[in-house]
Copies of this chain bind each other. A is one copy, B any other.
Amino acid sequence: MSDRFEARRKKLLRLLRDEGLPAMLVTAEKNVSYLTGFTGDSSYLLLGRDLAVVISDSRYTTQLKEECPTLDAVIRKTDVSLPQAAARVLRKAKLSQLAFEGQNVTFELHQKLADNLAQVELVPLNGRIESDLRAIKDADEINELRLAVQFAARGFEFLKATLTHGMTEREISHDLEHAMRRFGAEGVSFTPIIAVGDRAALPHYHPGDLKVEESPILLTDWGAQTRSGYRSDLTRVLVTGRPTAKLEKVYNVVLEAQQRAIAAIGPGVVCRDVDKAARETIHNAGYGKRFGHGLGHGIGLDIHEQPRLAPVSETILQPGMVVTVEPGIYLPGWGGVRIEDDVLVTRDGHEVLSNSVPNEFEQAFVDLGN
């Protein structure tokens, strides 16, 4: 069980060696969890050659023994702050240099560390665990993401099966979360976007009190989180009333753009070229100005991870990366269509993890009853 965490720590040690740094203080909660398997909070990992210590407090003594038995743990007392405890461990380790996460450590914490560690040169290493390690999923993480997609897929079947006249966006959102939890999910990956009609034109809408029958368009952007914290992210548009020809046209442009982008995904491909495949399709259909966001993003322990599929992204896709592909066309005052799937980069191409969720226009119809 702990092997995968050890493998991740070895990768980080190699990265530190390449940077000429002897050790790193990992402070970001999800990075500590990723590197150790520990699921608590308020704890740091100090990692160096012959050095792997979790600095925590007495709430977590038992949990640390269970979750990371091979790591040393320093349990601070109530009257010693976390930065003070970290400084003590660091002084004992007699390091001359220490890498830290500049994208996570606050100005205040940096000052406290610097005040307590006069002999140590603190070197920022910003976002490297995210870009160099977490962006490429190992076998366990890919299994977790498959599970997160399964929960989401079953949640969407539930939503379609239970959708009726009179339900508000908020009720639909809450029922969806409750159902996915009953299926085994820890919860949602993020507050679902459940948007009726013209609200579907707002890419970051928060579900409100609109009723589902107020428009034939219902956009659902949702995901599930597994107990280990991995997150899926999908979008579908349902047709809940008589559709217009315009809706069918827009839907099919978005679907074609998405399918072209997915087809472009494979190892060695530059991210911006995947974005381009979708963007050109939408541009050629005359909706170029109506797709204002990037094409997609990595998913994992966070809902937005590396790499980004965007017009400026130079990142090269590698096997093990998992990205969303989610083009959209948004027409203010009318509504919007976005279609989103989760795609794994494989050794010889890609695999759509969410391909069990129907995506054709003809499959989008739902009868609301009376």
Which one, B59, B110, B178, B206, contacts A174 given CB within 8 A?
A: B178
Beta-carbon contacts under 8 Å, A75-104 to B: 78-79, 100, 102-104
A182 at the interface (CB under 8 A from B): yes
Chain B residues lying within 8 Å of A170, measured Cβ to Cβ, are 181
A174 proximity list for chain B (CB < 8 A): 178, 181-182
A225 to chain B, nearest CB (A): 12
Q: A106 with B108: in contact, given A174-B182, A292-B58 (CB under 8 Å)?
A: no
Contact with B along A52-78 (1 / 0, CB 8 A): 000000110010000000000000001
Q: Shortest Cβ distance from A111 into chain B, in angstroms?
A: 7
Task: Find chain B residues with CB under 8 A from A312 CB.
Answer: 79
Q: Which of A79, A100, A106 has the most CB of B within 10 A?
A: A106
- Give the interface centre of A58, A78, A107, A203 by most chain B CB atoms within 10 Å: A107
Interface residue A105 (Cβ < 8 Å from any Cβ of B)? yes
Instruction: Decide: B111 and A59 in contact? CB cutoff 8 A.
Output: no
Taking the complex as formed, is A204 at the interface, i.e. its CB lies under 8 A from any CB of chain B?
A: yes
Docked CA distance A181–B177 (Å): 11
Q: Does any Cβ of B come within 8 Å of A126's Cβ?
A: yes
A124 CB-CB contact with B under 8 Å: yes
Interface residues of A (CB under 8 A from B): 39-40, 58-59, 62, 78-79, 100, 102-108, 110-111, 124, 126, 170, 174, 177-178, 181-182, 202-204, 206, 292, 312
Given known contacts A58-B292, A105-B106, A174-B182, what 17 new A-B pairs fall within 8 Å (CB)?
A40-B204, A59-B204, A62-B202, A79-B312, A100-B107, A102-B107, A104-B106, A105-B107, A107-B107, A107-B110, A107-B124, A108-B124, A108-B126, A111-B124, A174-B178, A174-B181, A178-B178
